[in-house]
Amino acid sequence: MRIKFIFLVSSILLVTFSCTSNDNENNNSQTIYPEFGSEIEVTINGLTFDAMEPFISPNGNYLFFNNLNDGINTKLYYATKVNDSTFNFVGELIGANQSKAPHLDAVADMDANGNFYWTSTRNYPTELNNLFHGTFSSGNINAIGRVQGDFNRNTPGWLVMDHGISLDGQYLYFNNARFDDVNCLGPCETTIGVAKRINASTFSTLPNSTSILQNINDPNYIYYAPCISSDNLEFYYTRFLKGEITSNTVFEICVAVRSHPMSSFSVPKVLFSETISNLIEAPTLTVDKKIIYYHKKIAESYKIVMRFRIEQ
């Protein structure tokens, strides 16, 4: 991750928003957080436009992303791997994109079984549940449908802005956001929750979702772009302080950790931060957890960048 719905936000932001607790886990001084090295710009051979919201496939062979999140002609694309920092652009992700503007199809996500998830404005706002699923095969998305579940607010103004699926496909980390373009620039408020898979098209919020994420959800912040690591022990996301967005607003990529796949996450650590002029968002992690990818604003366009994990 992971959605964004920028058509509700002014041009200053440029994007709408492409991983049982105990005392030790919740104490920063005793919690071991991942560390990453210097930033490396990713090359996508043949790409001539912005790349945002990256997602690296579980097998590492595909890099999914969308173009500029303007909510007018936002589509999903993919590239194939040459090496860790180089990919060859292929084209649109067939089946995922709407054909008529204005539209938004963005924030790719996929589990180890090829179950693919993304956010779409299909028939919005007539239908308010805007998270979709399908199956990925050789550049195509098939068997498309809406993801159902009690995490859908089904209330005008509320959207599933972002999402992150666990590697086994059993847990969906959903990001609810309320938009009001009269009174807020971007999301007015957000919450992150976790739901368990019932079947291919339905997830149900876990009874302990709130406690699992109690150290992450903070009403002082806007959250989005959740990403859960392959072992379910590291949770990555983007945040910024709630309030007026200015040139000084700082966007942070954070991580929280835990020692057991169903326990509460620790208090978060800020991994990287930038002001809006060098905006960073949307982390995604390789299955072996050795590389983190995200997008960044570089020279007035959006590029995908990466960092290697530092062994501890």
pLDDT in tens, 210-248: 999 999 999 999 999 999 999 999 999 999 999 888 999
Evaluate if residue 158 carries a pLDDT over 50.
Answer: yes
Structure-token pair, residue 42: 């990713």
Task: Confirm or reject CATH 2.115.10.20 for domain 6-18+20-308, answering yes or no.
Answer: yes
Sign of the alpha-carbon dihedral angle for 237, 238, 243, 248: positive
How far is Cα 7 from Cα 71, in angstroms, rounded to an integer? 5
Q: What integer pLDDT is reported at residue 276 of this predicted model? A: 92
Sign of the alpha-carbon dihedral angle for 132, 230, 3, 21: positive
Evaluate if residue 250 carries a pLDDT over 60.
Answer: yes
Average pLDDT estimate for 98-103: 88
Cβ atoms of 223 and 252 closer than 8 Å = no
Q: What integer pLDDT is reported at residue 124 of this predicted model? A: 84
Q: What integer pLDDT is reported at residue 29 of this predicted model? A: 54
How far is Cα 55 from Cα 275, in angstroms, rounded to an integer? 23
Evaluate if residue 22 carries a pLDDT over 70.
Answer: no
How far is Cα 251 from Cα 177, in angstroms, rounded to an integer? 17
Q: Is the pTM of this model over 0.85?
A: yes
Domain boundaries, the chain: 6-18+20-308
Q: In which band, very low, low, confident or very high, does the pLDDT at 302 lie, cut at 50, 70 and 90?
A: very high
